[in-house]
Amino acid sequence: MGRQSQGTRKQYECICQTCGERFFVPDPGQQRSRRYCSIACYAASRWRSQENLRNQKIYELRSAGQTLGDIAKQYGVSKERVRQICNQEARRLERQSSVVDTLVPLA
């Protein structure tokens, strides 16, 4: 019914979110949902969310009064990086709390 003949096997191009490699899948549904070319790249993306956890921890330490220098030494990153992470986290938490506010009914 107006569809392509079975003979031509169309491949749909995807770009891996981790390594940036192009890869191909057999249908457009997969093209939309596949984000990674391989299990290894998927695992790497999970690792990145562990990094998010670390950033959260760094932000907590900073909120608890530790200096940028202390935290930097502890995590083996630069002071500037710690400051960036804290700013990012503050913004992320702000966004989260504004979501929570809309969920909590006002008494």
Enumerate binding residues for Zn ion (CB under 5 A): 16, 18-19, 21, 37, 41
CA dihedral sign, ordered 89, 91, 96, 101: positive
Give the whole-angstrom CA distance, residue 34 versus residue 16: 8
Least separation in angstroms between residue 18's CB and Zn ion is 5
Which of residues 16 and 82 has its CB atom nearest to Zn ion in the complex? 16
Give the whole-angstrom CA distance, residue 1 versus residue 3: 5
Which of residues 21 and 51 has its CB atom nearest to Zn ion in the complex? 21
Least separation in angstroms between residue 101's CB and Zn ion is 38
